[in-house]
Structure 1
Amino acid sequence: MNIRKLKVGEKPPMNLLLLADPSRLLVEEYIERGECFVAECDEQYIGVYVLLPTRPGTVELVNIAVCESQQGRGIGKQLVMSAIHTAKARDFKTIEVGTGNSSLGQLALYQKCGFRIIGIEMDFFLRHYSEEIFESGIQCRDMIRLSQDL
């Protein structure tokens, strides 16, 4: 597996990005402002993440996804660690990530990778998404914010 920045003119893998964020409009907006990185295996995209500078010294991991056939193999952790490494190499001081209250696997993954919960944005998903989102039988309502000093 190789993780690399998307080349100029190369189309981002929307099918993967939409696995992590069902709003095409939001994905297109942050893709324009951020940097997209892809994980490839046998010339196929199997994972993706997007880094978006938000404030001086701070970058946010705004999307991370692994194709469904490759999930459960540690690729997500490799993508998160790549994002952390990339952020450090670019002299960011803090990396942040947000995920839904119902995203139990992602909450565990981010904490295993050194992130700490710093806050909750109540009703974020109710305000920003037109359709209800459910994961593991739990309605996704609130954004859990996590952060890591680099």
Structure 2
Amino acid sequence: MQIWLDPAGAADLPPARALARRGMLPYYIAYDLLWQDQAFDDTWHWREQRVVRDGPRWLGFLSLSADRRALYIRELHLLEAVRGQGVGAQVLDLVLAMARERKLALVRLTVFKSNRAQRLYARHGFVQVGEDDCFYRMERPAPG
């Protein structure tokens, strides 16, 4: 499977919201957090949103933000049917390449402590640099 990241459009918001809610609701419940569709929708408009595609197939989405030093993965959600097939690893490779192109030193993310995705991040060189009650903060240097 060869994936790429296309800019997301307004039509991508409803399936992205539904996918994020499906994936995140169990964590929100476990950590006694409140999921709010409106909060998701609000961030959709100010973050850099990308659709993960394999040809014409919509596989999920990626939400990014940046500061002068780092590219932040704010959301990365893939359809259940494509998880465990290397799509997440390809997305991380593309994000690292984006950080290099933008001359940013780091790629950072936050992941629920109970989320299995942290193993994927660790395999890609992300290390834990902090934590709070329910999240680990992870980062890795962007390739030079």
The corresponding residue for 1:102 is 114
| Alpha-carbon offset, residue 73 of structure 1 | 0.7
The corresponding residue for 1:118 is 129
| Alpha-carbon offset, residue 40 of structure 1 | 1.7
Contact 1:49 1:83 (C-alpha < 8 Å) held by counterparts: no
CA separation of 1:93/1:40 partners in 2, compared to 1, >3 Å: closer, same or farther?
same
Within 1, Cα distance between the matches of 2:5 and 2:136? 28
Within 1, Cα distance between the matches of 2:107 and 2:38? 24
1:82 to 94, 101, 106: 94
Q: Tell me, which stretches of 5 or more residues in structure 2 are unaligned?
A: 26-34
Q: Tell me, which stretches of 5 or more residues in structure 1 are unaligned?
A: 123-141
User: Could you say which structure has the higher helix fraction?
Assistant: 2
Tell me the secondary structure at the aligned position of residue 38 of structure 2: helix
Within 1, Cα distance between the matches of 2:77 and 2:8? 19
> Scaled by the length of structure 2, what TM-score is found?
0.77
Equivalent residue pairs, number = 129
The corresponding residue for 1:149 is 141
Identical pairs, percent: 15
Within 2, Cα distance between the matches of 1:94 and 1:59? 6
